[in-house]
Homo-oligomer: A and B are copies of this chain.
Amino acid sequence: MKVSELSRRTGVQVPLIKYYLREGLLPPGRATASNQADYGEDHVHRLRFIRTLIGTRGLSTSATKEILDAITTGQEDLHQVFGIALGVRPTKMEEDTGTEQSSTEREPEPEGLVDARKLIAEMEWDVSQGNPAAHTLAEVLTALSDLGADIDWRGLLPYARLADSIAEVDVQQMHGERDLLAQAERAVLVSILLEPALLALRRLAQEAKSARHFGGGRPGEANST
């Protein structure tokens, strides 16, 4: 197909497609004339994945190229590709410039990180020191303590066990795909896009349970008129 057709199929503007071609995110098409090229289904899939990584996950062009190169050459294992795609592992550029990782090593550890590590150890989760989620967890534990709530890391264990079950479903979702590109795209979609969905599902379940446990009138009645 022509580049105009590729644009129509993917919803990506032609100038942006040409930019991705120049930057090497997209392999060149098969040359058909001096100024024309033919693109295939591979280009459609790859463009869609680029749109997901940059648009949905908010990755930079260079980080996206790194993931695509890793998938294409097949030199890195899938776990490492997932790590970059999910924001668990730093991109090569972040490693080179020493942002993120080393800065957190030099700064004093935030309050609550010791407790976050206790929870991670209790769950027997073997995760990298650089996983930013540990810091998020530490911040929440600190906030709970500051607000005088008597919920410490042990109080979060029931949630951690359910999060473990959620991640098990996530991993099953990824197994279904055949090739690495589709698996990595699925990993990003499942990880990033489902976050607001999970919180929304919890809110809905909370309302339903709140009605059953604390409600006076018929549940759901209040606003349904």
Chain A interfacial positions (CB closer than 8 Å to B) = 48, 51-52, 56, 77-80, 82-83, 86-90, 101, 120, 123-134, 136-137, 139-141, 143-144, 147-149, 151, 155-156, 158-160, 162-171, 173, 175, 186, 189-191, 193-211, 213-217, 219-224
Contacts and interface: CB of A to CB of B under 8 A. Distances in A.
A223 B205 CA distance: 37
Nearest to A217: B77
A137 B197 contact: yes
Oligomer: number of copies: 2
A180 B193 CA distance: 36
B133 A200 contact: yes
Given A140-B197, A169-B162, A128 B189 contact: no
A88 B208 CA distance: 11
Contact of A198 (B78, B126, B165, B202): B202
Closest 8 CB pairs of A and B: A167-B205, A128-B223, A163-B201, A77-B216, A79-B215, A133-B203, A78-B214, A130-B223
